[in-house]
Amino acid sequence: MIKQRRNKQKGITIIEFTLIVLTVMLMLIGIIEIGRYVFSLQMMNEMTRKAARLATVCYVLDQNEIPTMDEVVENYPADFEAENLVIEYLDSSGTAVDLTNYGALSAEAQGSLFATIRFVRARVINYQYQFNGLLSFIGTSGLLTMPEFQTTLPAESLGVVRPREDDDDSGVIIDC
């Protein structure tokens, strides 16, 4: 009788082991994928911080070059494009200052416009994170629109280099 009961349960251990290992592996892969997502969130936070910091010390007309600088690009998450990072200069009320014709303005008008800039904002727009594998059911086929990250810092020099006593009169300004 005991021998007959053992024969009926003779493969149950392998089935239980398979079910448990499968469940643990699915949970482990899910945890890793969520960890990658959280890491991407942190990378975007750091990227906007660095971009805003560069924008506060670089020349105003370099705003389109900042998203492609090495210090910023090294923090790009997967499938991130420079077009997803926007640099804006803000006045004291937080309204974006229009710099589209800045280079064509007279020196007096440039100075007046330059004087209105009080803050610099770097923000991430229209970026979608792609989940892989098991979590591809999230969002639209694994694509999840990320929240709009932004960092706002007070404007500093904005690329204006103040002469020092040891400077020569070459007039060369080293760019950002």
Domain count, the chain: 1
Within a domain: 174: no
* pLDDT by residue, tens only, the chain of 176 residues: 566 666 667 788 888 999 999 999 989 988 988 898 899 999 999 999 999 999 998 888 788 889 999 889 998 888 899 999 999 999 989 898 888 877 777 878 877 888 888 999 999 998 988 877 666 676 667 788 888 889 999 988 776 655 545 555 555 555 56
As a whole number of angstroms, the distance between CA 141 and CA 122 comes to 29
Within a domain: 36: yes
Within a domain: 66: yes
Within a domain: 42: yes
Within a domain: 166: no
Within a domain: 162: no
Cβ(123)–Cβ(149) below 8 Å: yes
Within a domain: 44: yes
Q: What is the Cα 73 distance to its own chain's centre? A: 9
Integer angstrom CA distances of residue 26 from 13, 15, 31, 36, 140: 20, 17, 9, 15, 21
Q: Quick one: pLDDT at residue 18?
A: 93
Q: Quick one: pLDDT at residue 50?
A: 93
Within a domain: 165: no
Full domain range(s) for residue 60: 10-154
In this structure, the dihedral spanned by the alpha carbons of residues 15, 19, 25 and 28, taken in order and rounded to 10 degrees, is: -150
